[in-house]
A = this chain, B = another copy of it.
Amino acid sequence: MHLKETKLNETLLYDGMIMRVTKDQVQLEDGSLAYREIVHHSGGVSALPLTAEGMLTFVRQFRYPFQEALLEFPAGKLEKGEDPFDAAKRELLEETGGTSQKWHSLGEIYPTVAYDTEIIHLYLAEDTQFAKAKPDAGEFIDIERYSFDEAMSMLMRNEIRDAKTAVMLLKLSELKRSGKIRF
């Protein structure tokens, strides 16, 4: 079969808190054999909080793999079996105190397609209103607010590098331009 790899067997290498790692032997379409190292992850969600005045709310937090505090839209890991939309509402509330009655899907992204099963579900929250944030214990987060134009300038200057945040902001730009989202 063209563009298909068939799994022959799987070896569990690591079963941890947020990931499981396996090495799978696969048969390629020409019959040859290969190995695939795969990170299995439960997936994530992210919410772009937009206010009626057109302001965007970001979180800044230390991201250990990059040893850097990154600017992102509020996000979190999906708990096993959790509905992505419920998770997005939860993360927006916990990290920023934000709530909205006007949600839209911004689709899904596959962050790194070669070796990781993670899918991130993306949402836009219009007319977001803010009360006090309730971060989890051990979660240290700064809130930063920017206008759409400021955020787009930062993105095009390569100052916003988180993939989900970039896709969400750029999709918002398309929706704004086509008149599907007005602010």
Measured CB to CB, the nearest residue on chain B to A60 is B3
Q: Which residues from B are CB-within-8-Å of A62?
A: 3-5
Interface membership of A131, Cβ < 8 A:
no
Given known A-B contacts A23-B16, A170-B167, A161 and B110 have beta carbons under 8 A apart = yes
CA distance A14 to B20 in the complex (A): 11
- What does the 1/0 interface line of A48-71 toward B look like (CB < 8 Å)? 000000000000111111100110
- What does the 1/0 interface line of A119-158 toward B look like (CB < 8 Å)? 1100000000000000000101010000000001000101
How many A residues touch B, CB cutoff 8 Å?
Answer: 69
Return A179 CB to nearest CB of chain B, in Å: 13
Task: Choose, from A26-34, A78-86, A87-95, the stretch at the interface.
Answer: A26-34
Copies of chain A in the complex: 2
- What does the 1/0 interface line of A160-178 toward B look like (CB < 8 Å)? 0111101100110110010
Docked-complex contact B158 and A3, CB < 8 angstroms: no
CA distance A112 to B110 in the complex (A): 9
- Nearest first, the 6 closest Cβ-Cβ pairs linking A and B are A170-B170, A107-B158, A111-B111, A111-B112, A3-B69, A163-B163
